[in-house]
Structure 1
Amino acid sequence: MDGVGGRRFVRGVNGGQLPERRSWVEQIMGLPVSVLARGDRAWSAPAEAVVQEVFAELVEVDRVFSPYKTDSAVTRLVRGELAWSEVDPVVREVATRCDRARELTGGLFDAIPPGGGWDPLGLVKGWGVELASQRLSGVADLDWCLNAGGDVVVLCPSGRPFTVGIQDPRDPGRVVATVARTGGAVATSGTAARGAHLYDPRTGDPVLTGWLSVSVSGPSLETADVLATAAFVAGDAWPVVLSAVPGYEGLGILADGTLRASPGWNADGSEGSR
């Protein structure tokens, strides 16, 4: 391993040098999905193969669960073309997970929209990305960071953390805080990417809040993503939502740029906020 100008390299074929990091990006589920590998085997054939498996699995998740695809299981269920007894078991599993998420959040998260039907997208993204990320551990001695539109899963067998940036919801090109993680996940819910698209399942009304985003870190991306959504819906009470689930911490950003962190936000090695 050689270092030049602060960058690390590994020896390639015929003595050539390859950077220690390698990244891949695909557009899946309507958002950019990137994978970053770090380590001596970042440019190996097994690394390439496992990343393609991750992308293929996420394409399949989108095929089955997207409410925007006319032939997805979700769309056909809502149209009445499929009965629950006819769907693939994985669809029933996700429905069960959505029910658990509703119970976990006291109704702040719900896959049943105000107008009826079924839309599990708020859970499927985190669940699907976390499920796909498990394939990455099949290539030993590599650190991985999987980022799906700002929701991040990290696996660092080296013990060397990745630093995850928290985007400024008022300026997508600016990072307002960072958290360093060697494992687990970070998820964010808010208005930056899709505008005011969330509603309160308890009332059916749009969410009106002074918070622009809430980011949640913890062991599971599925849970962090659900909690981020529920916390954003809860408004000023978002820290109470997180305090009910051990192992998860949050950072909220107000419309004026003020940051508010839960007590343990920096406990996992974060570099803090600024």
Structure 2
Amino acid sequence: MVPRRSWVEQIMGLPISVLGRGDGAGSGRAAAAVREVYAELTAIDRMFSPYKADSAVSLLAHGELSWDRVDPLVREVAERCAAAQEMTDGLFDAEAPGGMWDPSGLVKGWSVERAGERLREVVEVDWCLNAGGDVLVICPSGEPFSVGIQNPRDPSSVVTSVRRTGGAVATSGTAARGAHLYDPRTSRPVESRWLSVSVSGPSLEYADVLATAAFVAGDEWPTVLPPHYEGLGVLADGNLFSTPGWAES
């Protein structure tokens, strides 16, 4: 049996797990890379969490920090949010109803992908990094991981799974946190017959943004996905619909 080792920590208000597979999974080098991943994600959460009073996001919202004094990383994320808004024709917007800048919809995927670069340096190990259902897969061996898509009607089960040797899978919906997603076009909670939309593709940052935009789009969600990204939607009646390349993406 191929050696495996797993880690999990609570960051950003959700469990972030790392699974290492391969002869080097139990090595000190692998453990050090995972520690670096968690340290980076903790630092990013400290900077961007809207729930921490001293985060840049909170200080900006309360007028205690101006844009000309923010950390360059905050400015970079703001630029990425603007690009995501343009890419999705406004279906993704970091400005929450009421005018507060909240980049949470981009930060999770972006930060996990960014931190995951530490794992790529340990080339003798395959990695699966899961941040609350948003998954980054790195498989130097070429052997795939099976990524489960959570059943939005029963979080203890999955509706299906996909095999991936690299890239990302991200899911957006209301099952876990209720009606927390807003339609930027109306500033109202999203109402949809879809319970969730999952997106698979090369970048977790983009997959995460596109999953949010696709869920907001409702029945038109497949048209939101650009080339190299595929999707799977779960309807309220339990039926599934996927784009043509979902199984191979």
TM-score class, shorter: over 0.9
1:17 is aligned to none
Q: Which runs of 4+ in 1 moved over 3 A?
A: none
Residue 193 of structure 1, CA deviation: 1.3
Shift of 1:63: 0.2
Report whether the alignment pairs 1:153 with 2:139: no
Matching residue's letter, 1:265: W
Q: What is the CA–CA distance in structure 2 between the aligned matches of 1:237 and 1:169, rounded to whole Å? A: 20
Instruction: Measure how far apart 1:215 and its partner are.
Output: 0.2
Give the aligned partner of residue 149 of structure 2.
Answer: 166
Gaps of 5+ in 2: none
Task: Tell me if 1:261 matches 2:231.
Answer: no
Equivalent position SS for 1:61: helix
How far apart, CA to CA, are the structure 1 residues paired with 2:67 and 2:244?
42
Question: What is aligned with 2:114?
Answer: 131
Q: How many Å apart are 1:246 and its aligned residue?
A: 1.0
AA partner of residue 105 (structure 2):
G
- TM-score, normalised by the number of residues in structure 2: 0.99
Deviation at 1:202, TM superposition (A): 1.2
State the number of aligned residues: 249
Task: Report the counterpart of residue 17 of structure 2 in structure 1.
Answer: 34
The percent identity for this pair of structures is 71
TM-score (norm 1): 0.90
Of residues 85, 89, 114, the one that matches 2:68 is 85
Q: Which residue of 1 aligns with 2:102?
A: 119
Paired residue for 2:231? 250
Structure 1, unpaired ranges of 5+: 1-7, 10-19, 269-274
Instruction: Please report how far the alpha carbon of residue 140 of structure 1 lies from its aligned counterpart in structure 2 after TM superposition.
Output: 2.0
Per-residue CA deviations over 1:169-196 (Å, capped at 9, x if unaligned) read 0001111111111000000000121011
CA RMSD of aligned residues (A): 0.7
Tell me, in whole angstroms, the C-alpha distance in 2 between the residues paired with 1:87 and 1:264: 41
Using the alignment, how far apart are the partners of 1:87 and 1:39 within structure 2? 41
* SS of match in other structure, 2:10: strand
Measure the CA separation in 1 of the matches of 2:77 and 2:33: 24
